[in-house]
Amino acid sequence: MMYIKDQVKKLTPYKPGKTVDEVKKELGLSEIIKLASNENPFGCSEKVGQELTAHAMNYAIYPDGGGSVLRQALTEFYQLPGEQFILGNGSDEIIQIISRAMLDSSKNTVMAAPTFPQYKHNAVIEGAKVIEVPLIDGRHDLNKMASAVDQDTAVVWVCSPNNPTGVSISDQDLKHFIEQIPDHVVIVLDEAYFEYVTAADYYDALELIRKYPNLIVTRTFSKAYGLAGFRVGYGIAQPSLIQALEPVREPFNTNALAQLAAAAAIKDQSFIQHCREQNRNGIEKFERFCTEHNLGFFPTQGNFILVHFNKDANVMFEALMRKGIIARSGHALGYPESLRITIGTEEQVNKTLKAIEEII
């Protein structure tokens, strides 16, 4: 019998949801609005397509393993040296790299619950003990998280804005938290939705990176940049922390097209600004609707909103799907009476709210 690690045997593999085409066929619908994975409803910058068509690429050769063009674009954007970035096949891979480099069965790792599931998933694979600290009203209980840290803790995960609640962490709260964390612990600050944040009390991650050698911030091209299909994410930290992770990275982990696309995308900040504004308008519309209809929700800084329907999430999910809208049921997210709904275009938001109104 082949050997599989005990902890891996206990995990359930990622189960992809139905594709848009499958749902269309099943329900006989001609149009589906997919609001389940927090993708960008506006696609990506038109500069991406221009850049990809302008470059004749030799697909027979491996990509640049150092990602120099993308690294240079990040350097220009952040005004930080290239050695402060690690590139990943999505920020999912950065999470995996951190876990592989820093976690094993002698270590524990602290995270909120519910939060992005890949922190726990990877920690379990590495055999580390997972310490989960429940959210309070959708936000991290940072004091409890700090007191859960001990001499065996290797990594603490903080997700801001948090998936699935959308709640972000304030400057004051985050600084107070980091001050309490001992130097031997690496703090991962997952900012997959950073570009959508409009909160006035949000912190400056770059200032924190300058100050704390044990902090790594992860960001992605999958959300506001609209390049989820290309799979590009990155970590930003002081050079010593990046160097510690690099041996774990696969040599050609980001592909050639993805590197080029991401480098073009980050140069078009007016697209990002447009998406941020549209997203904020959509959130405000959702929040007004929820208040008017007595539906609970968490104040979100992401491109999604967790709405509490006070009835089984799967029932609500099915009812919305029959109207051509695919949201994410809160069952698997730790909120069995809520749906996580991506903020779509104005038209999509209007259709979604109309559909919800007809159901509730």
CA 349/CA 342 separation, integer angstroms: 9
Residue 73 CB, nearest approach to ligand PMP (Å) = 17
Residue 50 CB, nearest approach to ligand PMP (Å) = 23
Cα distances (angstroms) measured from residue 276 to each of 155, 160, 312, 333: 31, 16, 31, 25
3-state helix, strand, coil in the chain (%, to 5): 45, 15, 40
Residue 191 CB, nearest approach to ligand PMP (Å) = 8
Single-letter amino acid, residue 311: K
Residue 37 CB, nearest approach to ligand PMP (Å) = 7
What sign does the dihedral 51-53-55-58 (CA atoms) show?
positive
Of the pair 122, 278, the CB lying nearest ligand PMP is at 122
Of the pair 92, 195, the CB lying nearest ligand PMP is at 92
Of the pair 126, 191, the CB lying nearest ligand PMP is at 191
CA 75/CA 87 separation, integer angstroms: 12
Of the pair 32, 188, the CB lying nearest ligand PMP is at 188
CB 340 within 8 A of CB 306: yes
Residues with Cβ within 8 Å of 351's Cβ and at least 6 positions away in sequence, in order, are 33, 324, 325
Residue 90 CB, nearest approach to ligand PMP (Å) = 3
Binding site for ligand PMP (CB under 6 A): 38, 90-92, 116, 159, 163, 190, 192, 220, 222, 228, 233
**Unique residue bearing structure tokens 């069995």:** 336
Of the pair 37, 75, the CB lying nearest ligand PMP is at 37
Of the pair 97, 356, the CB lying nearest ligand PMP is at 97
Nearest residue to ligand PMP, using CB?
A: 90
CB 160 within 8 A of CB 208: no
Residue 169 CB, nearest approach to ligand PMP (Å) = 13
Instruction: Kindly state the tokens that stand for 153.
Output: 């803790």
